[in-house]
Structure 1
């Protein structure tokens, strides 16, 4: 299964659905036009009723939003995507570099492990047919030798079965790891398509007095969802770097002729499980970069964590930061 092609299909899907936002612009123009009429009339009437000069600059806001609605795919989506796409390319390049180094080191480690096992007479026959046949030739046909032969066959079959199970479980975790990344990318693409298509409506509603925050909330949510992929790539790059450091340490140990490898992949399996679970924290981490849905849920989570902490100073610091964040958001 080529997961990279599936990610490419999702990117193509977004590009294919993007022009549909122009269809909603026709409906949004009517909503925005009616809102602009009431908005301008209200501001002018307030100025006339107070015998004040009319401030023209605030009255330009509905017309600016109208221009954004008319050319929404080009002005709004094109500008945001042009600004954020270098971030996506940069983090993806970072991930590719780490994965390339990881693959090279993994091949080097596998080769050194095989060489180390071949140097050990007690393990060489488990992976080498030549060593296995050589050891059989050294035995005779006495009852003790026949028992030894049977034990060698059983040990080799057990070793091959163990390696098959480990490889199967490792492949399963890799599939789950890639599937978690694909789930995040699929949900991200779905959210971006919905936000792109209904974006003109959000801009039109923001023309109405009292709904001005609709536009800023739409922009913050779009940027937040767009950054899911870069954050996921950074998370994958961190895991790849950790595995690279572990492989470098293993290669250094395998350089010792007296070191006997055990062939276990326990640490690798643990990090794969961490990666699968960690992928689903990407939306939360992205919410720390740009606040898209208000600080209420985030601050409640911080408060709960602070109450459960044993360090009173850390809890106090978290509450202080929460109060400052709440004041800044007002």
Structure 2
């Protein structure tokens, strides 16, 4: 089963678990009804105690949340997923284009590397069995030729051993790289399933006085977790683009007949390790994106600005009153 198939399995698992949120709506309705009763009762009692007219508009909030609870899978989850799914599809298309470009460039580079080594008679026998047999035929049975033959076998064995070791290490890094992406996607799916199933409870709790922020926190966390996959695709696209640029540079250098290619693929291994470590920073980066674009910080900055402006205005008014009082005393 390929890596993309596993991601599809996780996606299908999420959509299969979504209807379970409707089962929690029954418990949430009772909790929401009791909360609405206390919420409206407190609002009416406060208005009567202050001898003020009853404001009906704030009392519509429990009814709106109740409608969201009743149609939670389609109204809430369906709307959020419809809005956010184009972001996932767009970033995945970017990743696919970058990976296709990198794969084609890597194939071209491998062909040019082999051709460059075949142009060099001293190392051509390392990559070609025909060149190896041809060089053996040129040798005789003298002691010096036997020593050269033994050295060729040792160099050929050493080259094959190092190549197999590098390929094995590369496969391990690629497996760990794909495993890191699957770990992030699996945790993301688990969080989304939990948030979806317990979403009606969060909406019901937000009706109660003192728990109004529960609704905003649930929305923020759901959007943040949902964006883990697009951010992961963008991160993979960035790594693929960097590797493509490195491969393009190597292809340009292989155009020089005197250039001896380096088959160690050190840069590739380094970026694989960076990718493995970088995948586990995705939740933090996504949290930054949501916090930077959320309404919480905007309102906090607005409140701070208003408070600062109010303090300045109060200080200015106090100074003006002091000046007027001083002038009246002098008179």
Tell me, yes or no, whether TM beats 0.5.
yes
Show CA shifts across 1:63-110 (max 9, x none): 000000000001110011100000000000000000000000000000
Runs of 4+ off more than 3 Å: 323-328
Aligned to 1:229: 229
Give runs of aligned pairs for residues 80-159 of structure 1, distance below 5 A: 80-159=80-159
Cα deviation for residue 324 of structure 1 reads 6.1
Q: Which residue of 2 aligns with 1:259?
A: 259
* 1:291 Cα deviation after fit: 2.8
**In 2, Cα distance between the equivalents of 1:327 and 1:132?**
77
CA gap 1:117/1:96 in 2 versus in 1, 3 angstroms: same
Q: How far, CA to CA, are the matches of 1:29 and 1:245 in structure 2?
A: 56
Alignment of 1:140-289 (within 5 A): 140-289=140-289
Residue 258 of structure 1 deviates from its aligned partner by 1.2
How much does 1:209 deviate?
1.1
The CA deviation string for residues 265-314 of structure 1, in whole angstroms up to 9 with x for no partner, is 1111111000000000000000111139x9xxxxxxxxxxxxxxxxxxxx
Give 1:180 shift. 0.4
Aligned to 2:206, the other structure's residue is in SS state helix
Within 2, Cα distance between the matches of 1:188 and 1:110? 37
2 CA distance for matches of 1:94 and 1:176? Answer: 22
Aligned to 2:20: 20
Q: Distance in 1 between matches of 2:57 and 2:281?
A: 43
**Structure 1 residue 257, shift from structure 2 partner:** 1.1
Give the Å deviation of 1:198: 0.2
Report the counterpart of residue 48 of structure 1 in structure 2: 48
In 1, Cα distance between the equivalents of 2:238 and 2:127?
A: 33
- State the match for 1:29 in structure 2: 29
Deviations 1:153-200 (A, max 9, x none): 111011000000000000000000000000000000000000000000
Rounded to whole Å, the distance in 1 between the matches of 2:261 and 2:250 is: 9
Distance 1:326 1:50 in 2: 27
Q: Residue by residue, what CA displacement relative to the aligned partner does 1:33-57 show, whole Å, maximum 9, x if unpaired?
A: 0000111111111111211111111
Greater displacement, 255-264 / 27-36: 255-264
Q: Distance in 1 between matches of 2:302 and 2:100?
A: 41
Q: Distance in 2 between matches of 1:238 and 1:250?
A: 19
Report the secondary structure of 2:264's partner residue: coil
CA RMSD of aligned residues (A): 1.8
In 1, Cα distance between equivalents of 2:220 and 2:84: 13
For structure 2, list consecutive stretches of 5 or more residues without a partner in the other structure: 295-299, 308-331
Q: Which ranges of structure 1 fall in alignment gaps of 5 or more residues?
A: 295-322
Describe the shift of the 1:216–1:324 C-alpha distance in structure 2 as closer, same or farther (beyond 3 A). Answer: closer
Give the 3-state SS of the residue equivalent to 1:290 in structure 2: helix
Question: Which residue is equivalent to 1:320?
Answer: none
Residue matched to 2:326: none
Question: 2-side partners of 1:42 and 1:144: how far apart?
Answer: 103
**TM-score, length-scaled by structure 2:** 0.88
SS at match of 1:208: coil
